[in-house]
A and B are shown apart, each in its own frame.
Chain A
Amino acid sequence: MLTAILLGFLFALFLVFAGKYFKGRLAVVSALIPLSLFIYFASFIPRIASGEVVTSNYEWVPSFGVNLGFSLDGLSLLFSLMITGIGFLVYVYTSSYLKNHQYLDRFYAYLSVFMGAMLGLVLSDNIISMFVFWELTSISSFFLIGFNNTSEASRKSALTALGITGFGGFSLLAGALLLGSMTGTYSIIEMMTMKEALAGHEFYILAVIFIFGAAFTKSAQFPFHFWLPGAMKAPTPVSTYLHSATMVKAGVYLLMRFTPVLGDTNFWNTTLIVVGAITMLYSAVHTLFRTDLKGVLAYSTISALGILVFLIGLGSQGAFLAAAVFIIVHALYKATLFLVTGIIDHQAGTRNVTVLAGLRKVMMPVAVAGFLAAISSAGIPPSIGFLGKELTYEASTHSTGMVILIVAAIVLTKILLLYAGFVAGIKPFTGKLPEKFTKVTMPGPLMWVPPLLLAILGIVFGIFPSLIESSLVKPVVTALGKDASDIHLALWHGFNTVLILSIITIAVGILLYFILKPSEKLENRIGKLEPVSPESILNKLTYFFGVFSKFWTNVFQNGYLRNYVTTIVLFLVILVGYIFIGNSRLVIDHTKLSQITAYELAVTIILIAGVFYTVFTRSRIGAVAAMGVVGLAICLLFVFYSAPDLAMTQFSIDTLTVILFVLVLYRLPKYLVLSDYKMRIRDGILSLTFGGLISLLALQVLAEPVNSDVGDFYAKNAYIMAHGKNVVNVILVDFRGTDTLIEISVLAIAAIGVYGLLKLRVKSSDRPN
């Protein structure tokens, strides 16, 4: 299973080197990757349908309980098939849509990374590895939205999407760590057995909020929804794949995955119902005001995600069944509509729904695909959409409490979604073909076959629901912890309330489609509400954040080294001093002190004299030389107290420091009095406090009982284990060799930094404005 997940990443790596061969005619060959994965996952259908859960575990960081644990149950299977199946069609479609694009190889690489990450996400049983894949999907989505990187709007949308979903990623990590500490495991399967204990845990609400934070941002729930319409700046295959069929459903997946762990509580259900209902209504209303086809589809996608969250919130067996079917329904029709929109954009050069009309005359198969998708989206029989809608209504009418409100919300949403589906799938093809579109041609079969295939599947599944019943739908309901044995999918449910609601929906929806025409006037009208939308509020917050951090930087990082030093020292003095005064047990044992010898006294006097000279001299070179004297005096003290290694190193370092200082000073202007009298007093007090504090600390350390186990170990074993008699050196090159290795790497990086700063100056002509 690990190989299947890694395949996407490996292919992306392969494209880095062999990309140029995949830009031309061979591009379509890359579709074999998702196709083979699709076949691989499809081969699991019989085993999963019989109730089996396929697991595999690879140890990653076993000491932290972080493993690459994967499990394939009904829920992950449905998502895996969607990811690879729609992935395959999108790969095929792209080879024609972005034909001869300069960076087609790069596009495929991002797409493959995304596919691998998404598979990893839905197959992970370990929450930490799930988090890693979750972040990978956010990153690949960022690159795909910003694929058209010369456009500023694209880059901005990509950043917004990354910001919002990245925030969700944080939330997921927090939730994962919290759940890990609550249960003592990171495996979701193991957590399921602790459901009762979790629901009564004091941090239960917090854990749920974190998981919600992740799911709502990823699945574009209100008020985090606005990144999704922005993400439509991406090329259409990306919108199809990431921002309608798969990635945005990751949040829904997360909620479903955690339903058997955290679900079935009042807080869980109510929050999901409320958030889902607000999202589905809010964005369904928004579709009325859009003229860009992708805008309509983006908002109807958000609305569909809202429906799914809402259904998970209802929490009954019927609701889960409806959610499982609706995921399939939505993936089929929404992917089709996006692909159709892409074709229209590609061939006719516009996505403005107010000008598009009559295109059926020039691209019949595309019109058929659009029409079939639209009726599936509208829930008109015999499409699978009808089945999805019936099940949704069924679940809503059986909900506990506020039935009328819930049913009204869902029916209204469905009416508006019908309108959106018709606008996107039917409107561009009906009516009279305008003069300027007469020259529009059919696209190649690589482009029109994928949407047509998806649209036809939507009808086939509708007529023969048994095809997906026990293979896909039932295992999902089982995976969500409900008994699925009595489920039977059928197009005809008998004449009942649900059917009446369906008829009302379809009738009102079609009426709305004929009355209301999308127009720029409407779009402008909703534009007036823009200042109070979540997006503008976030933008304002970002702006103020920028202003604040600029202020902060100007105060603390103003480019004057002396200010940095002052800040650091002051901070240390306050922090360490505060702790120190509270805990000090300073006892100096006079009896243990050895007699001061004459040469020690002499060196100390030289040291003190050097310090005074450094502080009061008026010559820079003089100050540096005096500092050198101080350093050498300290070296001598090291020698006296038998630390020859330290003395040698300090001696060389001091020599080099003086040389460096001299080199730098050479460039500075003549000695100026930089500090006035007051500043010197202030600096003096600060230095004295700091020095005093460090001295006190050193004395305190001496007074503490020494734990010499480690030292004894090194001293004892230096020769036995490492063949060395110089313990200091043995520690450096053997016992703690890895530390040294990293330290010398840091040294090298520092040197490269110095070299880069001084040598590689940007020419004024190359500077960005």
Chain B
Amino acid sequence: MKTLILKTASIYLLPVLLVFSVFILLRGHYLPGGGFVGGLIAAIAFVLHAFANGLSESKNLLKIHPGFLMPLGLALAFLSGVAPVIVDDPFMTGLWFPDPFPVIGNVGSALFFDIGVYLVVVGVTLTIIFTISESA
């Protein structure tokens, strides 16, 4: 399925979709969106790239195997839950910086948790799809 149009488009679409996925991830706390959907969109971006340019191209682009994103995301999500324990709050208590950051808005432990979810979803989806298409 290597058509020139799709190939050219995907090269420009990949960064746009990735930025969009991060946007969806960040707005999740106030408006529809979140880590899960964001992760799926990011995964779709890579899958589109892989369809247009071939799997090996996408793998080169990713540098590491997407499977490594899973433990990374799980660790991040877990640590964001453990963080409040250090200041003697129960596990998974939300901690927040008092002032909002520019562009991003309020930052708290929940955001890091959501980033963890995002990474796990990207890792899981890409691992499954890459594995299946490789053995196809």
Contacts and interface: CB of A to CB of B under 8 A. Distances in A.
Contacts of A723: 29, 94, 96, 106, 108, 110
Contacts of A660: 128-129, 132
A649 B125 contact: no
Contacts of B120: 744, 747-748
A738 interface: yes
List of 4 A-B pairs having minimum Cβ-Cβ separation, nearest first? A652-B40, A644-B32, A751-B124, A724-B29
Contact of B129 (A652, A659, A759): A659
Contacts of B24: 648
14 contacts: A656-B125, A656-B129, A659-B47, A659-B51, A722-B94, A723-B106, A724-B29, A726-B28, A741-B81, A747-B124, A751-B67, A751-B70, A752-B67, A758-B134
Given A723-B106, A740-B117, A649 B37 contact: yes
A667 interface: yes
Nearest to B106: A723
Contacts of A722: 94, 110
Nearest to A644: B32
B131 A755 contact: yes
A750 interface: yes
A667 B136 CA distance: 6
B29 A730 contact: yes
A697 to B, nearest CB: 26
B25 to A, nearest CB: 10
A519 B42 CA distance: 79
A725 B96 CA distance: 15
A272 to B, nearest CB: 48
A737 B30 contact: no
A538 interface: no
Given A723-B29, A733-B34, A748-B124, 18 more contacts: A645-B34, A659-B47, A663-B136, A664-B132, A664-B136, A667-B135, A667-B136, A724-B30, A730-B110, A732-B117, A733-B35, A737-B92, A738-B91, A741-B77, A744-B77, A745-B74, A751-B124, A754-B132
B3 interface: no
Contacts of A729: 28-29, 33-34, 114
Interface of B: 24, 28-37, 40-41, 43-44, 47, 51, 67, 70-71, 73-74, 77-78, 81, 91-92, 94, 96, 106, 108, 110, 113-114, 116-117, 120-121, 123-125, 127-129, 131-136
A753 to B, nearest CB: 9
A734 interface: yes
A656 B74 contact: no
A721 interface: yes
Interface residues of A, number: 41
B114 A733 contact: yes
A747 B29 CA distance: 22
Given A652-B37, A721-B94, A751 B127 contact: yes
Contacts of B73: 744
B128 A751 contact: yes
Given A656-B44, A734-B110, A744-B121, A666 B136 contact: yes
A653 interface: yes
Interface SS majority for chain B: helix
Nearest to A646: B32
Q: Which of A652, A653, A725, A745 has the most C-beta atoms of chain B within 10 angstroms of its own C-beta? A: A652
A751 B34 contact: no
Interface in A711-741: 721-726, 728-730, 732-734, 737-738, 740-741
Contacts of B123: 748, 751
Contact of A737 (B37, B74, B81): B81
A539 interface: no
Nearest to B77: A741
A596 to B, nearest CB: 25
A430 interface: no
A655 interface: yes
A657 to B, nearest CB: 11
A649 to B, nearest CB: 5
Contacts of B78: 741
A758 B30 contact: no
Contacts of B117: 732-733, 740, 744
Given A751-B67, A754-B131, A758-B131, A734 B81 contact: no
A748 B110 contact: no
Contacts of B113: 733-734, 737, 740-741
A759 B117 CA distance: 25
B59 to A, nearest CB: 14
A114 B70 CA distance: 37
Interface string A631-657: 000000000000011001100110110
A473 to B, nearest CB: 50
A726 B31 contact: yes
A650 to B, nearest CB: 10
Contacts of A666: 136
B44 to A, nearest CB: 6
A747 to B, nearest CB: 5
Nearest to A666: B136
A744 B128 CA distance: 14
Interface in A663-692: 663-664, 666-667
Given A723-B106, A744-B117, A653 B31 contact: no
The interface centre, meaning the residue of B30, B36, B74, B127 with most chain A CB atoms within 10 A of its CB, is: B36
Contacts of B44: 652, 655-656
Contacts of A751: 67, 70, 123-124, 127-128
Nearest to A737: B92
A481 B109 CA distance: 58
A748 B70 contact: yes
A139 B36 CA distance: 42
Contact of B33 (A648, A737, A745, A752): A648
